[in-house]
Amino acid sequence: MNDVIMKDLTYRYSAKEAPVIDDYSLTIKQGEVVGIVGASGSGKSTLLRLIAGLEMPEQGSITIDNRVVVDSHTFIHAEDRGVGLVFQDYALFPHLTVAQNIVFGLNQLKRAERRERLVEMLDLVQLGGYAKRYPHELSGGQQQRVALARALAPKPSILLMDEPFSNLDADLKAGIRQELQDILHKAQITCLLVSHDQQDIEAICSRAVNMNTPVMV
């Protein structure tokens, strides 16, 4: 099965501190949209970084699509994991246009394929007319959609989203939640998103996990 399996993960910032993630296990089935809720500092974002390969766990293993990406004797670098990550601050490259941002991860494709994928992605996030714009010329919601398109463009095995709504105005939130749900549905992607807001998770996810009290699945 093309699942994402985390087993017995332990992580601490420094040797002196108590682990922020302690013996944590979680399995996400293909196509599932899982939400993780937890207070800030509970290690939600760190979990995403562990999956993405930006941090290394002290113990435990992660398997994505039947491939072990990290365990006691394996470490696959972030660039080779095929994981999409939408950062809390989106991290759109300020000196590149929307189109350049989206195709950034597509350098392996031929030029024509790249164009095709770009159009596809712009359609998906409904930003057809914005290809030539720069990130700072977009609204917060639009920036988020660009970040989403950029992460989805290389067809990752799993999409990770870190606090997708924290940078948005409250009155826009409902609309954007809906949009995001539609996009995720259309893209048919396995997704793990973290939020401190229970409502966000309930609105979008098929399953919710609380980080503070790990649930074994």
Alpha-carbon span 148 to 125, nearest angstrom = 8
Task: Check residue 214 for interaction with other proteins (CB under 8 A).
Answer: no
Task: Check residue 104 for interaction with other proteins (CB under 8 A).
Answer: yes
Nearest approach, Cβ of residue 202 and other proteins (Å): 27
One-letter amino acid at 14 equals: S
Task: Check residue 174 for interaction with other proteins (CB under 8 A).
Answer: no
Stretch that binds other proteins, among 23-31, 51-59, 137-145, 205-213 (CB under 8 A): 51-59
Sign of CA dihedral 102, 6, 48, 73: negative
Which of 31, 75, 137, 206 binds other proteins (CB under 8 A)? It is: 75
Which of 44, 117, 150, 196 binds other proteins (CB under 8 A)? It is: 150
Which of 5, 20, 68, 91 binds other proteins (CB under 8 A)? It is: 91
- If phi > 0 it is left, if psi is from -120 to 50 it is alpha, else beta; for residue 202 that is alpha
Q: Which distant-in-sequence residues (6+ apart) come within 8 Å of 45 by Cβ?
A: 88, 162, 163, 194
- Residue-wise over 52-88: b if at least 16 C-beta within 10 A, else e? bbebebeebbbbbeeeebbeeeeebeeeebbbbbbbb
Task: Check residue 120 for interaction with other proteins (CB under 8 A).
Answer: no
| 74 phi and psi angles, rounded to 5 deg | -130, 140
CA 107 to chain CA centroid, Å, is 20
Binding string to other proteins for residues 152 to 171, with x set by CB under 8 A, is what?
-xx-----------------
Nearest approach, Cβ of residue 93 and other proteins (Å): 6
Task: Check residue 95 for interaction with other proteins (CB under 8 A).
Answer: yes
Positions in the binding site for other proteins (CB under 8 A): 14-15, 52-54, 56, 58, 72-75, 77-85, 87, 89, 91, 93-95, 104-105, 107-108, 136, 150-151, 153-154
